[in-house]
Amino acid sequence: MNGFNAFMEKYFMPVAGKLAEQRHLKAIRDGIISTMPLLIIGSLFLIISSPPVPAWSEFMSPYAPALNIPVNATFGLLGLVAVFSIAYSLAKSYGMDELSSGVLSLAAFFVATPLTEDGNIPLSLMGSQGLFIAILIALFTVEVYRFFEVRNIIIRMPEGVPPSVWRAFSALIPGAAIISIVWGLDLLLKSTSDLSLHGVVGAVLREPLEMVGSSIWGAIIAILLIHLLWAFGIHGISVVASIMAPIWYSLTEQNVAAQQAGEELPYIIGQPFMAIWWAVGGCGMVLSLTILFVWRARSKHLKSLGKGSIWSSVFNISEPVVFGAPIVMNPILVIPFILAPLVVGLLTYFAMSIGLVGKPYIIVPWTTPPPISGILTTGDWRGGVLMLVNIIVALFIYYPFFRLYDKQLLQEESTLDVAAATKEEAGNKK
């Protein structure tokens, strides 16, 4: 174990640490997270318009078109919101004008979007299909804007001019360059290959990434990396999600579209699966471990930690246990901390793939407690049952390691108690 720790600290952790702080990945992560309130609101309307109960669904069918308007205005605008938010976040990290950067990226996104035969903006490219080009355009816009700003190739206004005015003028030259480059590149592609920027990015980037991200092996690798990072004290989901979140949200949006159309959901892996199903109690399925602390712990440390953290675990907050037990850099608890979510992830995927439980398509707040989150994400009461089964499975995985660690702590506490009693007795004799 010492050799493994040394290897991880020397080769893996520096790379992971740099990824966690890399400004472009952080901007992507923050920009995608900014869409979360919209997607949760859209999910609520989706539950109402497409309920899992047949009788209720039949009753709501006349109202479904009207109820789908908020759904389309949230899920259907994922790329549009992301292009502004990502550019805004990246510009903020550079200390640049966030609003101008967001507006320019939005304009460039529309320039790159091909119109329909009727001359309208295709809503299909405003959602998940446009998410990947939205990311690229947002990063490109800010970097070009910064190129001009650093070299002072901008219009300077006299002192005393209101900030809103000088900001608008300072964005003129870089904005013209950004729009011209995107427009010229789009024209070049259409003239040589009859493809738009959306089509090229979809073929080269979006489709291959979705193929990998939607597979169980892609999910297992992501879960493994998340927990390896957590085992060394780095917020694993922040690192992995900054790369994978666009893929997971795109897959979820396609599930939403299939649900609205009354078709079979195409994907199991998506944002709800990766945010909820293997992280009951937080990363590592630590709700099961916290239950053991409260129920079976004999050591004072684990007993008090369990009583103090059980409610935070119910709402999927794992930090009190991860750093309090601790799990970080603890060879005894790290093993089940990594093993439990992997087993639960495989079990959940298998149950959904054979139709025992519905596939997840609803996005809920990550603090939604189990088994409610299991029912809501799938629209299936059996999702709640499966989540309870997963908690029990994780409990059995943790149990032998918990017993070993609890016994070790109990011996240490007994030794300290004896030493303290001996010292007190010696003091009384004096």
Q: Tally the domains of the chain.
A: 2
Quote the pTM value. Answer: 0.79
Q: Give the residue from 213, 229, 255 where a domain finishes.
A: 213
Per-residue model confidence as pLDDT tens digits over 208-233 = 888 888 899 999 999 998 998 888 87
Residue 245 lies in a domain: no
**Candidate from 76-90, 191-205, 366-380 with smallest mean pLDDT:** 191-205
Would you state the pLDDT for residue 51?
Answer: 66
Tell me, yes or no, whether 47 and 154 share the same domain: yes
The chain-wide mean pLDDT, for the chain, equals 85
Following DSSP, what letter does each residue of 9-41 receive, concatenated?
Answer: IIIIHHHHHHHHH-HHHHHHHHHHHTTHHHHHH
Would you state the pLDDT for residue 121?
Answer: 83
Residue 227 lies in a domain: no
Tell me, yes or no, whether 208 and 289 share the same domain: no
Q: Name the token pair of 90.
A: 């990246």
Tell me, yes or no, whether 122 and 42 share the same domain: yes
Instruction: Give the single-character DSSP code of 51.
Output: -
Tell me, yes or no, whether 423 and 335 share the same domain: yes
Give the number of other Cβ atoms within 10 Å of residue 389's Cβ. Answer: 17
Tell me, yes or no, whether 286 and 175 share the same domain: no
Give the number of other Cβ atoms within 10 Å of residue 329's Cβ. Answer: 12
Whether omega before 360 lies within 30 degrees of 0, making that bond cis, reads no
Residue 347 lies in a domain: yes
Could you tell me which residue, 24 or 419, shows the higher pLDDT?
24
C-alpha distances in angstroms, 390 versus 327, 341, 380?
A: 20, 9, 16
282 in Cβ contact with 319 (< 8 Å)? yes
Instruction: Give the single-character DSSP code of 359.
Output: P
Residue 101 lies in a domain: yes
Tell me, yes or no, whether 276 and 416 share the same domain: yes
Residue 264 lies in a domain: no
242 in Cβ contact with 19 (< 8 Å)? yes
- For 66, the domain range is 23-213
Residue 236 lies in a domain: no
Tell me, yes or no, whether 63 and 172 share the same domain: yes
Instruction: Give the single-character DSSP code of 63.
Output: G
Tell me, yes or no, whether 186 and 284 share the same domain: no
Tell me, yes or no, whether 199 and 306 share the same domain: no
Q: Give the residue from 185, 213, 241 where a domain finishes.
A: 213
219 in Cβ contact with 274 (< 8 Å)? yes
Per-residue model confidence as pLDDT tens digits over 319-378 = 899 988 889 888 889 999 999 999 999 999 999 999 999 999 999 888 899 999 999 999
Q: Give the residue from 194, 213, 232 where a domain finishes.
A: 213
Tell me, yes or no, whether 99 and 209 share the same domain: yes
What span, in angstroms and rounded, lies between the C-alpha atoms of 151 and 139? 19
Residue 244 lies in a domain: no
Per-residue model confidence as pLDDT tens digits over 136-150 = 999 999 999 999 998
Residue 260 lies in a domain: no
Residue 427 — pLDDT band, cuts 50, 70, 90?
Answer: low
C-alpha distances in angstroms, 147 versus 27, 138, 142, 150, 151?
A: 18, 14, 9, 6, 6
